[in-house]
Amino acid sequence: MKLKDWRGVRALVTGASSGIGRAFCERIGSEGARVALVARRADELTQLAEQIRAAGGEAFVLPCDVGERDACFATARRAEESLGGIDVLVNNAGYGHHRRFLDWDVEDIERMMRVNYLGSMWMTKALLPGMVERGRGWLVFVASVAGKIAPPEESAYAASKFAMVGLAESISVEVEDAGVHVMVACPAVIRTPFFDAEALARMPPVSRKAMAEPAEMVAAMLDGLARGKREITFPRLPEMGYKMKAVAPEWFRRMLRRTTIDALPSIAPTRRDR
């Protein structure tokens, strides 16, 4: 199902306070959507809502930590009450780090899975029934290229995004006959707070050169929804990697290592002589 006209569309966007989520809200708000803004930082959401309203749009501030199940369901109910239902859910909230699994704190790994994956599942569980009942809706899961190709130093993040992709793909088949369209969006390297100074320093030069702006990612997402696509990757260069991983997995693994671990020997695991 294609979504080309945002006028009057009721949307809930998680992770709306910055990065891709904020840019998405700004864009659809300017095109006439009624937007429920969800994130932890109430001050940032209030500022964004004022910006959207000043441009003639409609926005509702709903502070929420999507890593908490009860908060997700309560926020979803408030959004439905405020807007009279939700037509579009954009599961965008998430965070990540760049570190070896051996050095990763277990509590942070668990927190990342709650925010990145379970938060999306809880919001979807809360809002999908209304879409199915109305026979109309769109689910957008903002995953990552790391949800298709697992790079070193992103094990916990990649696991959460692989889970999100799997959830979205299964739901898509289940609800398409009920009038609900599911799209997975896989950002590659987008200029957001995820890529801090340390992450940039450890990033292969080819990835730094390919870095895109949030507004470009949003444009690709809107184009995907308008064309009824079920998955998009932006920028599109990693799509070649998906294919190579499928047809030549061992060769692809060697290439991945060459451009990551071997290119940055300082992050290679310590070897002990026996």
**35-45 residue pLDDT tens:** 999 999 999 99
The H or E element spanning position 98 is none
Any catalytic annotation for residue 157? Answer: yes
Q: How many Å apart are CA 171 and CA 261, to the nearest integer?
A: 35
**187-238 residue pLDDT tens:** 998 877 666 666 666 665 556 566 789 999 999 999 999 999 999 999 998 9
For 270, the token pair is: 């310590």
- CB under 8 A, 24+ apart: contacts of 242-247: 242/148, 242/149, 245/148, 245/149
Residue 119: Cβ within 10 Å count = 28
| Least trusted range by pLDDT, from 7-16, 40-49, 174-183, 233-242 | 233-242
The model carries a pTM of 0.91
10-238 CATH, one of 3.40.50.10860, 3.40.50.720, 3.40.50.970, 3.10.25.10:
3.40.50.720
The structural domains of the chain, with segments of one domain joined by +, span 10-238
Query: Of 95, 117, 157, 242, which one is the catalytic site residue?
Result: 157
**Residue 194: per-residue pLDDT:** 66
Q: How many Å apart are CA 183 and CA 231, to the nearest integer?
A: 5
Main-chain dihedrals φ then ψ at residue 235, nearest 5 degrees:
-55, 165
